[in-house]
Amino acid sequence: MKNKTIAIHKGTLKDKKTGGVNTPIYTSSAYDYISRDETFYPRYFNTPNQNAVAKKIAALEHAEEGLVFSSGMGAMSTSILAFAGAGDHVVMLDALYGGTHHFATVWFSHFGIDCTFTKTSADDVINGVTSKTKVIVIESPTNPLLAVVDIEKIAQFAREKKITTIIDNTFASPVNQTPLDLGIDIVVHSGTKYLGGHSDLCCGMVACSNEKLDRILNLARVLGPSLDPRICYLLERSMKTLILRVNAQTKNAMEVARFLEFHPDIAAVYYPGLESFGGYEIAKRQMKGFGAMLSFEIKGKDPHRFIERLKIISPAVSLGGVESTICPPSLTSHAKMSPEERQRIGVSDSLLRLSIGLEDADDLKQDIDNALKKVPKY
């Protein structure tokens, strides 16, 4: 089956009683223990609606198995803790999602886990590894500067050293990137973003081998970040249009990036699909499409006044929805960092992160152009 067909049909549990074509919502939290080998229970992550979406993500990510969580952080923290414990060392990118970064800096010591943060080049990541390293956590493209990480090089190195690799594949989505094909062990998603796609649900997903999943599942069952069947249903509904949505959003993003690249009020554009962008060559090799996230810096004008003057693109922190949203990382995802720390990682106060939706690209370009025109130069 090809991706579009998988997105629609994989995992669907047809309603045999009525012939309905959708997976019914199984609301029970108490199930018969006599008639089957495995008793269903929502916190066991094994109820019919959880299984339906887990099968879909597994197929889309070319994995043996999948798992759905109540949030992206639930998926990420459980996956890391399943493979790193007291005395172990973890290597992570500096540029990881804020919540993952916070989990490591504030909570790893509590679990006796040591951690090294590295820059995004494969050599930097590999140089961060010690004899105690058990897990490497990466993300590509990164937030908010869209740095592209050489996934295959890191995965290959880690395989030889028997280190478990985890990638946060939220930004690319399985439509644009399938890291298991590049040798990564575990793919994690914030399903709150593209998989949900309509800015109306929160969930996380994991896709990996049978063996890795058993371990993650065992820990998940006691930590308990399981997803409600009603939200599983919403997610299943959304994932059916994932391919169409993300392909169209990716196309829109390319158009907007090209428009920004030559706009006189724009100082820099960060988008893996631009030939002028540093990560372009690696992105072309490892991604099917360049994604629908981009960032840019405005030249000589107040970025916050610019945002206030946008009519279609909404100021909002999350991403991946059908509606375009924009936010300044200095005031949102990276607000907790000191200005010096932000400077060091290249997140300037004029940097804006744009999540491109499904609107008409011409309207998006015009919205940006109009808003820029209305803001006077400093």
Ligand X SMILES: *Cc1c(COP(=O)(O)O)cnc(C)c1O
Handedness of CA 97, 101, 103, 108 (dihedral sign): positive
> Smaller CB distance to ligand X: residue 190 or 371?
190
Task: Classify 311 as helix, strand or coil.
Answer: coil
The answer to whether the CB of 169 falls within 8 A of the CB of 293 is no
Q: Does 72 help bind ligand X (rule: CB under 6 A)?
A: yes
> Smaller CB distance to ligand X: residue 40 or 179?
179
Q: Residue 94 phi/psi, 5° resolution?
A: -50, -35
Q: Does 151 help bind ligand X (rule: CB under 6 A)?
A: no
Q: Does 77 help bind ligand X (rule: CB under 6 A)?
A: no
Measured CA to CA in angstroms, residue 308 lies from 62, 93, 300, 304, 371 at distances of 42, 33, 16, 6, 8
Of the listed pieces 150-158, 166-174, 287-295, 304-312, which binds ligand X according to CB under 6 A? 166-174
Distance in Å, CB of 103 to ligand X, minimum: 10
Among 73, 205, 351, 356, binds ligand X (CB under 6 A): 73
Q: How far is CA 40 from the centre of its chain?
A: 29
Task: Classify 209 as helix, strand or coil.
Answer: coil
Distance in Å, CB of 375 to ligand X, minimum: 28
Peptide bond into 376 cis (omega under 30): no
Give the total of residues touching ligand X (CB under 6 A).
Answer: 14
Q: How many residues does the chain have?
A: 378
Among 61, 65, 150, 168, binds ligand X (CB under 6 A): 168
Q: Does 202 help bind ligand X (rule: CB under 6 A)?
A: yes
**Alpha helices by DSSP H, 103-241:** 122-127, 151-161, 173-176, 210-223, 229-239
Q: Does 332 help bind ligand X (rule: CB under 6 A)?
A: no
Q: Does 186 help bind ligand X (rule: CB under 6 A)?
A: no
Among 204, 289, 321, 329, binds ligand X (CB under 6 A): 204
Task: Give the number of C-alpha atoms closer than 13 A to the C-alpha of residue 152, restricted to the C-beta side.
Answer: 9
Distance in Å, CB of 147 to ligand X, minimum: 13
CB closest to ligand X, residue no? 72
Q: Does 231 help bind ligand X (rule: CB under 6 A)?
A: no
Supply the residues annotated as catalytic.
43, 97, 168, 193
Handedness of CA 180, 223, 225, 140 (dihedral sign): negative
Footprint on this chain of ligand X (rule: CB under 6 A): 71-73, 97, 99, 143, 168, 170-171, 190, 192-193, 202, 204
